[in-house]
Amino acid sequence: MTVHDVPTDAPRPAGTAADDGPDPRRVAAASSVGAVIEWYDFFLYGTAAGLVFDRLYFNGLDGPAAQFAAFGTFAVGFVARPVGGLIFGHFGDRVGRKKMLIWTLLIMGLGTTAVGLLPTYDQIGVWAPILLVVLRILQGIGIGGEYGGAVLLAVEFAPEEKRGWFGSFAHIGVPGGLFLASGAFTIASQLPDEQFLAWGWRACFVVSIVLLAVGAWIRLSIAETPSFQKVQEQKHVSATPVLDVIRSQPRHLLLGMGTRFIEGFTFNLFSVFFLAHAVNVVGVDRSTVLGAIMVGAALGVVLVLVSGGLSDRFGRRPVFAVGAVAGLLFAVPATQLVAGGTAWGVLLVMVGGLGVVYGVVYGPLAAFWSELFDTRYRYSALSFLYQMSGVVASGLTPLVAVWLVQRADGGLGLVAAYAVGVALLSLVCAWLLPETRGRDLATDEVAPVTQPVTRPVTRSAARG
């Protein structure tokens, strides 16, 4: 008998979402708050890379070379993320989700605070960029382990019929963290330029130590997820979770990475490359662009939750496809609006990209990816999928965009073409994956890649 066969008025097996365990709403809130804090730390670096680091840590180079070097250190964080994903994914599948989430928070918070205290190139010479890269690597390792644990904390506690909704709370960490990071830099940008470069930007990093304490307190109050507890009770813990997922579900893994492409690309194209291009090349005021990013990120938080909830009703793939098609259609107008250099144009770009496209694409993916893989290696699977694909989809996006602009003699036409290609790739990958809505996470059954999963009709669903 499966969970679907149990009448709603009968006692439920221990470890199910209807248990007398923690309220899924409280768990989702804890997942989202911790994720927002960690992504705030990570995105501070991206904002600083576009506005500060080329002037303080790579000022021995000329303008374009300094910016390229700053974006290079930004990319290093994404290269380090798979390392963190493999380490924390392995132990998350072996000793538990909660323990790993405490460690990732500590690594991120302390690493980010240290960036805010780091001397400049003029003060300690070449050691400044070297230490900056080291700290960025620590950030990458921390955030690499964060993603899978935060998602599973929300998804594995959620009732089946609301898994998309509760899972999306973990995903508001990305736009929420960007909102806070952009807000912090917007406030600091009100200072005179000399004070902003001397200490204003540093305050945004140092405050991370306070957020670290808040996040650790919240996460320590949450129990281990029921899905992992069941694996432990049945002694089904995988000895080599990464190898098991690669052997058992390689196509799910590869196609899932393909769906990730538009998410990572869109976010970093708009929040990092377009930020730097609008300010440094087009000449738009820094505060104007940061304010537009804040509006787009705020809308993204809302639409991540909305699209996650809609995926419980209409399925993961259809909702994702709507966002991907929007990204395809918005590619050319976005580049034209950025090149135009008006405040309203930049605002529309950030609202359309970070709000609509990103929000709708990202919302259903927490539940979609989680439902693709077995509990025994789900943490490792999500970490591998998200972080390995993120090297190209996220970390290299600003670098590739700068290179494409140079190839096009300063134009953004090739960047728009790249965006169209990314959207098409992710749409095809989503189409080749099964629809996972309704999958029972308590079983080890995984639907074939070529056939969609049929949603079981439960008594509680029939009543709704």
DSSP string, 361-429: HHTTHHHHHHHHS-GGGHHHHHHHHHHHHHIIIIITHHHHHHHHHHHTTT-SHHHHHHHHHHHHHHHHH
What pLDDT is attached to residue 330?
96
Mean pLDDT of 396-409: 89
Distance of alpha carbon 199 from alpha carbon 85, whole angstroms: 33
Counting Cα atoms < 13 Å in the Cβ hemisphere of 425 gives 20
Tokens of 198: 């001397």
Q: For residue 8, what pLDDT band results from cuts at 50, 70 and 90?
A: very low
Only one residue has tokens 């300063």, namely: 410
Question: Can you give the residue range of the structural domain that contains 29?
Answer: 21-227+237-455
Q: What's the average model confidence in pLDDT over 435-439?
A: 88
Percent of the chain with pLDDT over 70: 86
C-alpha pair distances (Å), 229 with each of 155, 158, 208: 14, 15, 32
CA–CA distance, 2 with 13 (Å, rounded to integer) = 10
Q: What is the pLDDT of residue 302?
A: 95
- pLDDT of 22 reads 63
In three-state secondary structure terms, 207 is coil
Q: What is the pLDDT of residue 13?
A: 40
Are the beta carbons of 371 and 437 closer than 8 angstroms?
yes
Find the range with the poorest average confidence among 313-317, 412-416, 445-449, 459-463.
Answer: 459-463
Instruction: Let me know how long the chain is.
Output: 464
Q: Would you state the pLDDT for residue 416?
A: 95
| Average pLDDT of the residues in 152-159 | 83
> What integer is the mean pLDDT of 333-354?
94
Residue with tokens 């804040």: 294
DSSP designation for 108: H
Question: What's the whole-number mean pLDDT along residues 21-43?
Answer: 76
pLDDT of 228: 66
**Which of 47, 38, 153 lies closest to 107, judged by CA?**
38
The average pLDDT across 314-319 equals 96
Between 178 and 62, the more confident residue is: 178
344, HSE (Cβ side, Cα atoms, 13 Å): 0
**pLDDT (0 to 100) of residue 296:** 94
Q: Which of 172-181, 230-239, 396-405, 436-445 has the highest mean pLDDT?
A: 396-405
Type of residue numbered 266: T
Q: What is the SS3 assignment for 188?
A: helix
Kindly state the average pLDDT of the residues 7-12: 38
Which pLDDT score is estimated for 453?
A: 39
Quick check: is 38 in a domain? yes
Label residue 362 by pLDDT band (50, 70, 90): very high
For the four alpha carbons of 53, 104, 106 and 141, in that order, the dihedral sign comes to: negative
Given a cut of 50, is residue 431 above it in pLDDT?
A: yes
Burial of residue 235, with CB atoms counted within 10 A of its CB: 0-12 exposed, 13-18 middle, 19 or more buried = exposed
What's 204's domain CATH number? 1.20.1250.20
159 Cβ partners below 8 Å, 6+ apart? 17, 18, 24, 166
- Which pLDDT score is estimated for 401? 92
Choice between 157 and 10, residue whose per-residue pLDDT is larger: 157
- Count of domains for the chain: 1
Tell me whether residue 460 is in a domain: no
* More confident call, 433 vs 140: 433
On whether residue 322 sits in a domain, the answer given is yes
> Does residue 359 sit within a domain?
yes
Confidence of residue 234 (pLDDT cuts 50, 70, 90): low
More confident site: 50 or 133: 133
Token pair 């135009």 is found at: 340
From the list 138, 147, 140, the residue with the least C-alpha distance to 97 is 147
Q: How far apart are CA 321 and CA 327, in angstroms?
A: 10
Which of 76-80, 351-355, 454-458 shows the lowest mean pLDDT across its residues?
454-458
Q: How confident is the model at residue 306 (pLDDT cuts 50, 70, 90)?
A: very high
- Section 252-280 average pLDDT: 92
Q: Is 356 contained in some domain?
A: yes
Measure the CA dihedral 97/100/101/102, to 10°: 130
Q: What is the pLDDT of residue 340?
A: 92
The pTM of the full predicted model, rounded to 2 decimals, is 0.77
pLDDT at 235: 64
**Is 461 domain-assigned?**
no
Residue with tokens 């090349």: 281
Distance CA 437, CA 105 (A): 30
pLDDT at residue 88, as a whole number: 85
Calculate the average pLDDT of the chain: 82
Q: Is the pLDDT of residue 184 over 70?
A: yes
> From CA 218, how far away is CA 221, in angstroms rounded?
6
pLDDT value for 223: 67
Cβ 228 vs Cβ 96: under 8 Å: yes
Classify residue 134: in a domain, yes or no: yes
Contact present, 383 and 147 (Cβ < 8 Å): yes
Is the pLDDT at 447 greater than 50, yes or no? no
pLDDT digits (tens, 9 = 90+) for 86-129: 888 888 787 777 778 788 888 888 888 898 999 988 899 889 88
Residues 6+ apart with CB under 8 A from 143: 38, 39, 41, 42, 77, 81, 84, 104, 108
CB 396 within 8 A of CB 404: no
Please check whether residue 232 lies inside any domain of the structure.
Answer: no
Percent of the chain with pLDDT over 90: 32
| DSSP three-state, residue 36 | helix
Say which residue, 78 or 309, is predicted with more confidence. Answer: 309
DSSP string over 17-35: TTSSS--HHHHHHHHHHHH
